């Protein structure tokens, strides 16, 4: 703890990045590592900066709902959010192993099938088609799916179904989440959470995917179909 603190005049505290992120680290961790255990407070570390800014904007616009987040990001300007996102995106902290539900091998196989091949009968494209062959995401807007806890993945897919999470229309993830059966959500979340995190967790380069479904956020940059 710095001894300078005792001498600081609160009215002259400089406006630094450290101060800006202090509003975030109580929940997300100093390096954006997220909460241990349940993983209720999501990891921010290493996620594509464009994706992090987009989520802050979605909370500001009321598209994604969680009152403490909406309140925290409401006053932030775009350049502020870009700075905060760059900080968290650049953090490299190890991924913690999170608990997995006990599932039958057939459920895990179903999860793997959805990720690698999708389910054409239900018009579900493979998750890999957008989230990348290593599932580490695609710059700038598609987040990785490896290293995320089971509870977080399944609750996000649930949020798209209940409308507490949405993104720019057409909202491809809302469509996909609604095409998944409840048992599919359990299966795909568990299989993803059971994956080893690859040595290189960087998102794939922008433009390296051709999204098989219309996504508003991807079309904005001209890469949607
Ligand atoms: C009171 C606790 C709390 C504070 C403070 C907080 N967050 Fe969050 N944040 C959350 C929770 C919980 C979620 C997940 C909400 C959900 O999806 O239901 C979240 C989600 C996010 C997401 C989306 C993550 C993802 O992978 O989709 C971003 C980005 C984010 N927060 C950034 C910030 C930033 C930047 C700050 C500081 C300016 C901040 N948060 C402050 C609790 C908090
Ligand atoms: C057509 C492209 C596309 C496909 C296919 C796709 N996704 Fe996504 N996914 C996205 C985009 C874009 C986002 C960011 C959405 C936003 O703006 O919030 C996203 C976000 C997510 C998130 C949020 C991660 C976080 O950190 O909060 C989860 C979970 C997710 N997708 C799971 C899946 C699963 C499971 C599948 C396969 C069944 C899948 N996705 C298939 C495009 C896709």
Confidence at residue 97, expressed as pLDDT on a 0 to 100 scale: 79
CB of residue 211 inside a 6 A radius of ligand 2 = yes
Q: Tell me if 169 sits within 8 A of 58, measured CB to CB.
A: no
The sign of the CA dihedral 97, 103, 105, 107 is negative
Tell me how many degrees the CA angle 94-96-99 measures, rounded to the nearest 5.
165
Q: What's the 106 CA to ligand 2 centre distance in angstroms?
A: 23
Q: What's the 119 CA to ligand 2 centre distance in angstroms?
A: 16
Distance, CA of 58 to CA of 114 (rounded, Å):
27
The sign of the CA dihedral 53, 55, 56, 62 is positive
Tell me how many degrees the CA angle 181-182-184 measures, rounded to the nearest 5.
65
User: Which amino acid residue places its CA nearest to atom 32 of ligand 1?
Assistant: 56
- pLDDT tens-place string over residues 117-157: 999 999 999 999 999 999 999 999 999 999 999 999 999 99
Q: Tell me if 127 sits within 8 A of 16, measured CB to CB.
A: no
Distance, CA of 114 to CA of 122 (rounded, Å):
11
User: Which amino acid residue places its CA nearest to atom 3 of ligand 1?
Assistant: 27
- pLDDT tens-place string over residues 148-174: 999 999 999 999 999 999 999 999 999
Distance, CA of 62 to CA of 73 (rounded, Å):
11
- pLDDT tens-place string over residues 60-117: 999 999 999 999 999 999 999 999 999 999 999 998 877 889 999 999 999 999 999 9
Which ligand neighbours the alpha carbon of 63 most closely?
2
Confidence at residue 221, expressed as pLDDT on a 0 to 100 scale: 56
Q: What's the 142 CA to ligand 2 centre distance in angstroms?
A: 7
- pLDDT tens-place string over residues 38-50: 678 999 999 999 9
Q: What's the 7 CA to ligand 2 centre distance in angstroms?
A: 48
* Range scoring the smallest mean pLDDT among 3-7, 85-89, 173-177: 3-7
Q: At 6, is the pLDDT very low, low, confident or very high (cuts 50, 70, 90)? A: very low
Q: Tell me if 160 sits within 8 A of 171, measured CB to CB.
A: yes
Which ligand neighbours the alpha carbon of 147 most closely?
2
Distance, CA of 168 to CA of 159 (rounded, Å):
15
Confidence at residue 219, expressed as pLDDT on a 0 to 100 scale: 82
CB of residue 66 inside a 6 A radius of ligand 1 = yes
């Amino acid at each position: 703890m710095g001894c300078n603190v005792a001498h600081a005049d609160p009215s002259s505290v400089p406006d630094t990045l450290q101060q800006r992120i202090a509003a975030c680290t109580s929940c997300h961790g100093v390096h954006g590592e997220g909460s241990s255990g349940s993983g209720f407070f999501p990891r921010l570390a290493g996620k594509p900066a464009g994706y992090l800014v987009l989520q802050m904007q979605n909370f500001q616009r009321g598209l994604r709902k969680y009152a403490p987040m909406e309140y925290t990001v409401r006053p932030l300007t775009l350049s502020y959010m870009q700075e905060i996102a760059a900080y968290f995106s650049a953090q490299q902290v190890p991924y913690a192993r999170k608990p997995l539900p006990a599932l039958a091998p057939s459920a895990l196989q179903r999860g793997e099938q959805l990720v690698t091949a999708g389910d054409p009968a239900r018009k579900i494209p493979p998750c890999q088609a957008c989230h990348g062959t290593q599932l580490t995401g695609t710059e700038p807007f598609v987040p990785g799916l490896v290293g995320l806890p089971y509870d977080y993945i399944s609750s996000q897919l649930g949020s798209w179904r209940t409308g507490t999470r949405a993104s720019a229309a057409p909202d491809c993830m809302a469509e996909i989440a609604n095409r998944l059966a409840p048992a599919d959500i359990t299966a795909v979340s568990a299989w993803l959470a059971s994956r080893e995190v690859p040595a290189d967790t960087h998102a794939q380069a922008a433009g390296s995917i051709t999204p098989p479904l219309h996504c508003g956020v991807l079309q904005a940059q001209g890469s949607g179909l």
